[in-house]
Amino acid sequence: MEISKIFEIKLGITCTSNKTLVQEVGMCQNFAMNHINYESIEPSITDPRSRRVVRPTTHRTVGRNYSVKSARTIHWESQLEKYCIYHLEFDPGVKAFAEQPKPIRYESEGRIHTYTPDFYIEHNHGRAIIEVKPSDQAVKPEWQRLFEIASEIYQSMGISYHVRTEVEIQKQPRLLNTRKLLRYVRHNITREQKELILNAVSSAPMSLEELIEFVGGPSGYQDVCRLIAKGLLTCDMDEEFSEQVLIRFATEVPRWRP
């Protein structure tokens, strides 16, 4: 099996080879020595999914959501992945994202393994890979080992690697707020109404109730929610989204928070 690149990570040194995968990887067997051979292809937002979505079963729910941010449909293979998509779609620091990017192949314990992560992200300060995993699985030694290997490989490409569990993804009320606000991401708002709302909070925050009363009109609530969903307004997402929540003008695009 000919490959274009085989990288050898050894104390931060990278080299290339055109040998066959079997020839190259046979020399190294212990990742604990910080020495592993792998094959990788740079991920891209425009790449199609690297494999087919698994079929739904009694214990697995699959589906798809349209991403306005990525301008295409994103498939998910678990409820946790679905909720992670909500956060990526809402986060103003995320420019675009794609599911199931191109896999990496690596040698471990004398065997060749293929690993396809869940999401590839381009954000306002770089690139990242996210692996979504239930916490009871993420703590298992075999997954911990994979996470270490994947982190080393992606870091060598200048891509950060993050594992996310239900602890972060399903944190409330952040998840409920995110789902509520995303309903209005495609809501139409006039330029005049947009400028009126942004000017209203440009100097000082206002409660949602005060802001809606100030701007008036039948679509005041939807207009405010749309501007929050697009990152032009902000609020404390860890506080219940109610009439008392303070709405602030977004002076700058927040840094992506992994």
Instruction: Using alpha carbons, list the distances in angstroms from residue 35 to 5, 151, 189.
Output: 16, 13, 55
Which domains are present in the chain?
41-168 (3.40.1350.10), 174-249 (1.10.10)
**pTM, to two decimals:** 0.83
Is a pLDDT exceeding 50 seen at residue 1?
no
At residue 135 the predicted structure's pLDDT band, cuts being 50, 70 and 90, is very high
Q: Which phi and psi (to 5°) does residue 97 adopt?
A: -155, 160
At residue 39 the predicted structure's pLDDT band, cuts being 50, 70 and 90, is confident
Q: Which phi and psi (to 5°) does residue 184 adopt?
A: -110, 10
Q: Which of 20-24, 211-215, 235-239 has the lowest mean pLDDT?
A: 20-24
Query: What is the reported pLDDT for 36?
Result: 65
Query: What is the reported pLDDT for 178?
Result: 97
How much is the average pLDDT of 69-92? 96
What's the pLDDT tens digit per position in 194-212?
Answer: 999 999 999 999 999 999 9
Q: Percent of the chain, pLDDT > 70?
A: 81
What's the pLDDT tens digit per position in 146-155?
Answer: 999 999 999 9
Query: What is the reported pLDDT for 56?
Result: 66
Query: What is the reported pLDDT for 155?
Result: 93
